[in-house]
Amino acid sequence: MSFTFSPDTCTLLFAPEYLRHFPGRGRPFRLPKLGLSFHGIRDCLCLGSAMQVLLPVHNGNQLPFIFKESCPYLSTEYALPGVAASCLDAPVVTLDEAAPIFQAGSYNFWHWTMENLPKLLALESMGYEGGYILPYNEPVIARSLEMFGIDPQRLLPTGVVYRVKRLILPPRLSGFEMVDNLPLVDFLRQSILDATGTEQGSRRVYIRRIGQRKLRNELHILPVLKDFDFETMVPEELDHKEQFRFMTAVDCSVMVHGANSALALFQKPRSIWVEMFNNRYVTYSNLHTVRAMKLRYHALVEDLELDTSPDMTTTVYDHLKAGMKADVAIDPMYLRITLENALG
């Protein structure tokens, strides 16, 4: 069946608003203990890409509405009605039931673990047996699904247009929102530790980043860490289970902000966490971890120096945006004093 879609006249709605207008087209269902609400939508096209654009089918082949995810996050820059229209030229695969579990950035270990995995685990906890639309071949996601024993037959690829008889639409999550939903944070942590187990003992660890946003003066920092009996861990050298289990014996961690910051959720309660930032990219997106685990948290930001200042041909916006990938240099004395005071 071909569908009629006009980007100029399409109405953008949130899923709750849509169901208020058309109550017969689905219903919300809530997990109050986890602070999550999902929405079941009847007869809906799902563009199985990073956009997760959703178009409920009306009047045979009319598509007068478009919405993305079920919380107040109407993202027109991602919905891109023009792109949605072009996707409708592709073959349509019909499914009985499916849940799209994918947000922008989910290839990343932090974004997958903190913003997507909780939704999948919540559905599993309530006995959901349908399919999941997600990029399951991505290494971060594949290892996670294997860790929880998700049947590969339930995994549906992205990049396909699906017509789903009952689509389970999850809410959007972010670390900033989770700071007020500690039951969900606790649920995520315990679910992962149930799958990985824990370690006994006590350790202080420096988590080394490879690739972008590294500690560029590491040679000056390592002697400081050695003075406080830190060991070094490279996450890429361990599988997912080993990473999580390793962290359960950690009394103090030091790391540059990045994907590996997700690991701080699994260190000991009331332990110490030192997170380092460059001077162009400081984001406190892990306060849910700090709050849930009652961590003694220290954020260290590098000094602003001439070689990290924008030149006359660079806009401030471009300069700050480049900071997302820029390496970090922390004053060794700054770190030493922080550890002296934190560790007593």
Q: Which domain CATH number covers 330?
A: 3.40.50
- Domain contains 185: no
Q: Is 136 helix (H, G, I), strand (E, B) or coil?
A: coil
Given this model, what pLDDT does residue 57 score?
A: 64
- Place 311 in a pLDDT band, splitting at 50, 70 and 90: low
- Domain contains 52: yes
Given this model, what pLDDT does residue 276 score?
A: 96
Length of the chain: 344
- Contact between 126 and 31 (Cβ < 8 Å): yes
Residue 84 has pLDDT above 70, yes or no: no
Share of the chain above pLDDT 70, in %: 79
Of 76-80, 90-94, 194-198, the poorest mean pLDDT is in 76-80
For residues 211 and 145, membership in a common domain is answered with no
Q: In this predicted model, what pLDDT tens digit does every residue of 38-51 receive, in sequence order? A: 988 888 877 765 44
Q: In this predicted model, what pLDDT tens digit does every residue of 298-307 receive, in sequence order? A: 999 998 665 5
For residues 142 and 202, membership in a common domain is answered with no
- Domain contains 305: yes
For residues 100 and 245, membership in a common domain is answered with no
Of 53-67, 86-100, 208-222, 241-255, the poorest mean pLDDT is in 53-67
For residues 159 and 15, membership in a common domain is answered with yes
How many other C-beta atoms are found inside a 10 Å radius of the C-beta of residue 177? 16
- Domain contains 122: yes
Position of tokens 């996670």?
144
For residues 149 and 220, membership in a common domain is answered with no
Most confident of 24-28, 64-68, 286-290: 286-290
User: What value does the mean pLDDT take over residues 77-103?
Assistant: 71
Q: What share of the chain is helix, strand, coil (3-state, %, to 5)?
A: 35, 25, 40
Position of tokens 């995994």?
155
pLDDT higher for 204 or 308? 204
Residue 52 has pLDDT above 60, yes or no: no
- Contact between 216 and 327 (Cβ < 8 Å): yes
Burial 193-223 (b: 16+ CB within 10 A, else e): bebbeeeeeebbbbbbbeeebbbbebeebbe
Position of tokens 């892990």?
286
Given this model, what pLDDT does residue 308 score?
A: 56
For residues 33 and 148, membership in a common domain is answered with yes
For residues 107 and 168, membership in a common domain is answered with yes
- Domain contains 189: no
- Domain contains 51: yes
Most confident of 63-67, 117-121, 213-217, 313-317: 117-121
User: What value does the mean pLDDT take over residues 311-322?
Assistant: 67
- Domain contains 30: yes
pLDDT higher for 92 or 336? 336
Mean residue pLDDT across the chain:
85
Of 26-40, 87-101, 253-267, the poorest mean pLDDT is in 87-101
- Place 25 in a pLDDT band, splitting at 50, 70 and 90: confident
- Domain contains 181: no
Given this model, what pLDDT does residue 124 score?
A: 96
For residues 104 and 160, membership in a common domain is answered with yes
Q: In this predicted model, what pLDDT tens digit does every residue of 216-268 receive, in sequence order? A: 999 999 999 999 999 999 999 999 999 999 999 999 999 999 999 999 999 99
For residues 52 and 136, membership in a common domain is answered with yes
Given this model, what pLDDT does residue 74 score?
A: 43
Residue span of the structural domain in which 209 resides = 194-343
Q: In this predicted model, what pLDDT tens digit does every residue of 105-145 receive, in sequence order? A: 778 999 999 999 999 999 999 999 999 999 899 999 999 99
For residues 209 and 169, membership in a common domain is answered with no
For residues 150 and 285, membership in a common domain is answered with no
For residues 35 and 131, membership in a common domain is answered with yes
> How many structural domains are present in the chain?
2
User: What value does the mean pLDDT take over residues 312-320?
Assistant: 66
Q: In this predicted model, what pLDDT tens digit does every residue of 259-273 receive, in sequence order? A: 999 999 999 999 999
